[in-house]
Amino acid sequence: MKNKLLIILGLGFAWACTSPKAEKIDYTALTDEERLEIAKEIALNTIIVDGHMDLPFRMYNMGHDMRGEVFDFMTRSDQGNIDYVRAKEGGVDAPFMAIYIPATYQETGGAKVLADTLIMMVERMVNTWPDKLALARSPEEIEANFKKGLLSLPMGIENAAAIEDDLSNLSYFYNKGIRYMTLTHGKDNLVGDSSYDDSETHGGLSEFGKEVVKEMNRLGMIVDVSHITDKTFFDVAEVSIAPIVATHSSVRSFTPGFERNVSDEIIKKIAEKNGVVMITFGGSFLDQAYADANSAVRAHMQEWLKENNLSFRDDKAREYMKAYAAEKVPVVHVSKVVDHIDHVVQLVGIDYVGLGSDFDGVGDTLPEGLKDASMYPNIIAELLKRGYSKEDIEKICSKNFFRVWKDVESVAGL
C-alpha cells in the first residue's frame, strides 16, 4: 500500500503541474485514502482563496487591540478555525479577513473607528511576520505572494455601516486595502435591507445605497451580496455595471425559506452578471435538518441559562450545550458543501462557484471533516470522488474569483 500511495502521490503532484498523463487517471476509482493524499498535494500546489473569515473580530473580542498585543497567529491553536500552521497545512493561500461591523454600531456610532481598528490588527500581524504574511490588494499580488511562499491576507468589509453616511469613506477604505464590502449584516442599514431583518426599511436598496454601489464600481471594489434581502439583491444587480459576488452564502434550495442563502433565481442572476457564489460552511447553511435541530437547541439553551442564572460564556453552560447538542443535532459532513457546489454547477456551470468558509464566524456548527483551515483537502478529495477535473478544481479554488476581481477592476473609473 505504501508504494502504491507513493506512485499515486507522484501522479497527483504531476496533475497539479498539469501533466497530460496525469489527466488520464480516473480519480473516482481510487480509495478515499488515496484520493485524500492526492488532494493534499493539490491543495498545496493550487492557490486557494477563501471569501470570508472572521479572524479580525475574534482577535478584537480577545482584547488584543486594547493591550496593543500582536495576536499569536503563528502557533497552532485549539481555539478558533485558523492560524498560520493550520492554514499552511490546508493549503489556503488567501483567506479574506472580514472587517466585521456588528449592526449595533449603526445605533451607537463608532463603526468607522472599529473598522480602522480591525484593519490595524491585520496590518500589525503582517508587519510582525513579513517573512510569513503579506497584504494583498489584487489577484496579481496573491499570485506573487504564493510564489514567495507567503500567506496573503486580503481584506473586505462586512456591513456598510462602516462607511457611516459618508460616500467618501469608500475611497478611504479602498486606499486602506479593502477590496470588497458586504452591504448589510444583521439589520437594515443606510444602504439597504438585511435578510435577517423583517423591517424592510427601504424595500430594497436605498437611494444612498444606489450611490454606494456606483461608487464601489468606480473604485473597483467588489459588491458582496451576502446578507441582503432578495429585493435588495435585484436592485444591486440592476445598478451595478460590474460582476457581483456572494462571498459567504450557500444554496437556498437546501434550506427553503432561509433568505440568507441564495435562491436559484439569484444564482442565475449572479452568473448572468459574470459573478460568483462562494459556498459557506456553517451547518445551518448546508442542511435543513441541522438548522431546525440547532434552532431547537438554542431555544432550549436560552431557557436553561435563565433557570440556572448562567450565560453562554460560562464553562458549565458550554459543557452542557455541547453534550445536549450532541444528542439532538444531526451530523453534517463535508460532502454537504460539495452538494451545494454541485447545485450551482448543475444550475449555471463551473465558472460561477467558489469557497467562503465563514471560519471564526459560525461557531461550533461546522461540518465533520471541515472544522478548521487545515481541512480544505477534504473538499478537494470529495470533488475528485465526484469526477471534477483539475481545471474545475482550480476554478473553484481561485480562478473563478480572480476572473471576477479582474472584471471588477476593469470597469473601475467608468
Cα distance between residue 255 and residue 385, in whole Å: 25
Is 196 among the domain residues?
Answer: yes
Is 311 among the domain residues?
Answer: no
Q: With beta carbons less than 8 A apart as the criterion, state whether 273 and 240 touch.
A: yes
Strands 94-100 and 155-158: parallel
> How big is the CA angle at 173 (ends 238 and 84), to the nearest 5 degrees?
105
Q: Both ends of the chain: CA-CA distance in Å?
A: 59
Per-residue pLDDT of the chain (414 residues), as tens digits, is 444 454 455 545 444 444 444 456 899 999 999 999 999 999 999 999 999 999 999 999 998 776 677 899 999 999 999 999 999 999 999 999 999 999 999 989 999 999 999 999 999 999 999 999 999 999 999 999 999 999 999 999 999 999 999 999 999 999 999 999 999 999 999 999 999 999 999 999 999 999 999 999 999 999 999 999 999 999 999 999 999 999 999 999 999 999 999 999 999 999 999 999 999 999 999 999 999 998 998 899 899 999 999 887 788 888 888 888 888 889 999 999 999 999 999 999 999 999 999 999 998 899 999 999 999 999 999 999 999 999 999 999 999 999 999 999 999 987
Question: Which domain range does residue 96 map to?
Answer: 48-287+332-411
Cα distance between residue 149 and residue 205, in whole Å: 41
Q: How many CB atoms lie within 10 A of CB 103?
A: 18
Nearest to 219 by CA among 182, 161, 172, 185: 172
Number of domains composing the chain: 1
Is 307 among the domain residues?
Answer: no
Strand, coil or helix: 361: coil
Is 306 among the domain residues?
Answer: no
The residue type of 356 is G
Cα distance between residue 162 and residue 115, in whole Å: 6
Cα distance between residue 200 and residue 197, in whole Å: 7
Is 216 among the domain residues?
Answer: yes
Is 197 among the domain residues?
Answer: yes
Rg over alpha carbons for the chain, rounded to the nearest Å, is 21
Is 118 among the domain residues?
Answer: yes
Is 349 among the domain residues?
Answer: yes
